[in-house]
A and B are shown apart, each in its own frame.
Chain A
Amino acid sequence: MNEMNEVRKPPVATTGIIGWLRINLFFNWTNSLITLFVVYCLYQFIPWILDWTIFSADFKYNYLGEQITNQEMCSRNLDPENGGACWAVIYVRFYQFIYGFYPKVEVWRVNLAYIMLAFALLPLLYAKLPYRKYFLYFTYIFPVIAYFLLNGGLGFTEVSTNKWGGLLVTLVLGCTGIALAFPIGIMLALGRRSKLPVISMMCTLFIEFIRGVPLITLLFFGMVMLPLFLPEGIDMDGLVRVLVAVTLFQSAYMAEVIRGGLQAIPPGQYEAAKSLGMSYWRMNLLIILPQAIRISIPPIVNTSIGLFKDTTLVIIVGILDLLGIGRGTLADTNWLGLSYEIYFFVSLVFFIFTFGMSRYSLYLEKKLKTGINMGAD
């Protein structure tokens, strides 16, 4: 009977790498067929893309060893048999891609702002940071510092916003849009659910109007119509006008996302809070919103990523963001025809940022355990 007591190991075929492969990739014949097909495609694609982007590519010098200063000097244009991507265009134009037309002597200010942005984000992204409270103070005043750093004033030379461009504009639009839209969105969501008819109607009207028109229309509105509503003599900056449009757009979407979260909160939570004698604001701030926002994390990140990518639309009103600088480079007779390299680079930068946002939201969801049903039963 000894044999009966012996602990039997699971069958070899369900553990380890082989087991994983069997279960995930070769579970049945359709599954296996798809796996083989995908592997074949990757086998065809990966060596080619690696060769094009890295092994055969020019980075600064072409295959003759000359430094590349225009597209004719790219290896692939000198000799079609030779050479992959010509990254020299990115190398030469890197400054423009990152800072736009920001004056070179003042560029340390942008660099400083980039570094400070990282520090400002740190306490928001990482809750266990030592001295988090002090870091948070810094986060609150960061927008003011960044404004003076980038724009000028307080002893800094002014750099008008039409000299801004590239990643700088993309980040300014993305960060400001997302950061401002969040509180405005919360207020709009609460307003729309308010029992006071005027407030609820106004919020609903605002949200429905803004959601009902495309971002491009709002950008045009900001660019063309807004100056007409301002008293003469007040010259509103072009970038600010676009920022207003982007923020309005994003806050309407954010409001609906948060309203979705609010609706998922069971009525018992409201009743419990009220029975403790809490006021409307205390109830929302302490009981309702923390739960509502927690379950809304995936759609909040979703719309934020959407906005980050939508910022490329500002090219329509003549602001050169990262993509705009790419297109401008393509219009330089020195770099005609390098569209693959430029679009590849721009999409890579966008991918890094959006993928980072999406990973962060996953980390947040895990940390806050949003998958768990919160007392609805």
Chain B
Amino acid sequence: MKKLLSIFAVVAFAFSAHAGTLDDVKNRGFLKCGVTTGLAGFAAPDDSGEWAGLDADMCRAVAVAVFGDRSKVEFITTTGKSRFPTLASGEVDMLARNTTWTISRDVNLGFEFVGVNFYDGQGFMVPSALGVSSATELDGATVCIQTGTTTELNLADFFRLNGISYEALPIETNDEGKENLFAGRCDVYTTDASGLSSTRAAASNPDKWVVLPEIISKEPLGPLVRHGDHQWGDVVRWSLNAMIIAEELGITSENVDAQMSSNVPEVLRLLGVEGNYGEMLELSNDWAYQIIKQIGNYSESYEANVGPDTPLEIARGLNALWTQGGILYAPPFR
């Protein structure tokens, strides 16, 4: 299947290789952004039909960078299977779809990951009544696991490394895992930590469940574009970086106007007061200012969609800035 997909991708790419996604987007008047069909905290339609979430914000940020208007984006829903062909065929300009950056996707499928907007990783959730505080204490446990995924292999590796045994209860969907765990048919449910958080939030009594501290795999999720269009890749990459740098510099959607008269050189460069970084990207010079003004910095987007104050209650963890114990790091803006 994977091989077939990559062939599709290559063929599709050959057909759709045309110059300048940025120009296409500008001429069209709106951005086409591929998102999930619904994943809590990352992209889901709200009550008024507007897409909201961390990935949706990423799409909007790029729309703001190009048009200065957060509404100039059309969300195209894609599934795990259809996302790559959709991007390769040019039906969307970019994907912000909770996609793990791997070498084969980056190289073989002909895509370019422009950064990471969420560091995820496989974790474990158990009933708090089990009294377990670490995944290494799970010897002999029954584990609900989605079949045919990398999580299955990671799980086997982890238990083998720690010399403990487990019994797998194969499941197909997240819903199934949730039901099995809540009904007590398995002791442990393992999937990406963000998925565990939304499962926990969906429980009638979330306090009865705990997510264990161990994260046993790397799942850097980020936006991606097609290979070969570096100008467009730069626009998406720096839209993400601008949000991260804004957090580093303490610029928020609220204080951005006051920061225009800051005396910190990097703030002035980012907001377009000094330098011509916008022109380099073929955008208007206040593109980053508009992103921060209309979407907010990375922290604002994180807190609003997945942070501790939302039902998902995902702590910043790895996604904190490098200065605050995380690994979120953007190259300097100069």
Contacts and interface: CB of A to CB of B under 8 A. Distances in A.
Interface string A328-372: 111111101101000000000000000000000000000000000
B39 interface: yes
Interface in B218-234: none
B37 interface: yes
Contacts of A198: none
A331 B43 CA distance: 8
A224 interface: yes
Interface of A: 69, 72, 76-77, 80, 92-93, 95-96, 100-101, 160, 162, 220, 223-225, 227-228, 232, 238, 315-320, 324-325, 327-334, 336-337, 339
Nearest to B36: A331
A336 B49 CA distance: 16
Interface string B24-43: 00000000000011111101
Interface residues of B, number: 41
A46 B56 CA distance: 43
B201 interface: yes
A76 B82 contact: no
B89 A332 contact: no
Nearest to A216: B81
A227 B89 contact: yes
Given A160-B74, A336-B311, A316 B79 contact: yes
A333 B311 contact: yes
9 contacts: A101-B45, A160-B74, A220-B81, A318-B82, A319-B77, A329-B38, A331-B198, A337-B202, A337-B204
Given A162-B74, A224-B89, A316-B79, A334 B46 contact: yes
Contacts of A76: 204
Contacts of B85: 223-224
Contacts, number: 111
A225 B82 CA distance: 12
B91 interface: yes
Contacts of A327: 37-38
Given A162-B74, A331-B39, A337-B202, A316 B81 contact: yes
Given A223-B85, A224-B85, A318-B77, A101 B202 contact: no
Contacts of B78: 318
B45 A328 contact: yes
Interface in B63-100: 74-79, 81-82, 85-86, 89, 91
A101 B45 CA distance: 9
B201 A333 contact: yes
Interface of B: 8, 11-12, 15-16, 36-41, 43-47, 49, 52, 74-79, 81-82, 85-86, 89, 91, 175, 198, 201-205, 305, 310-312
Nearest to B14: A228
A316 B40 contact: no
B82 A228 contact: no
B82 A224 contact: yes
Given A101-B49, A332-B44, A238 B175 contact: no
Given A224-B8, A228-B11, A316-B81, A331 B40 contact: yes
B89 A339 contact: no
Contact of A95 (B11, B49, B81, B203): B49
A96 B310 CA distance: 23
B82 A80 contact: no
Contacts of B201: 333, 336-337
Contact of A328 (B38, B82, B311, B312): B38
A322 to B, nearest CB: 13
Nearest to A103: B49
A324 B77 CA distance: 10
A315 B79 contact: yes
Contact of A228 (B15, B43, B81): B15
Nearest to A316: B79
Contacts of A225: 8
B91 A238 contact: yes
A251 B173 CA distance: 32
Contacts of B75: 162
Given A225-B8, A333-B44, A339-B175, 9 more contacts: A77-B204, A224-B82, A224-B89, A228-B12, A315-B37, A315-B79, A320-B77, A333-B41, A336-B202
A69 B46 CA distance: 11
Contact of A320 (B37, B86, B175, B204): B37
Nearest to B311: A333
A328 B37 contact: yes
Q: Which 5 A-B pairs have the closest CB atoms?
A: A331-B38, A337-B202, A328-B38, A331-B44, A336-B202
A333 B38 contact: no
Given A80-B204, A92-B47, A317 B79 contact: yes
B46 A332 contact: yes
B304 to A, nearest CB: 10
Contacts of A238: 76, 91
A102 B46 CA distance: 14
B154 to A, nearest CB: 24
B45 A96 contact: yes
Contacts of A315: 37, 79
B172 to A, nearest CB: 14
Contacts of B311: 72, 333-334, 336
A75 B44 CA distance: 24
A93 B203 contact: no
Contacts of B86: 223, 318
Nearest to A92: B47
A225 B89 CA distance: 10
A319 B43 CA distance: 15
A300 B45 CA distance: 37
Contacts of A334: 46-47, 311
A64 to B, nearest CB: 18
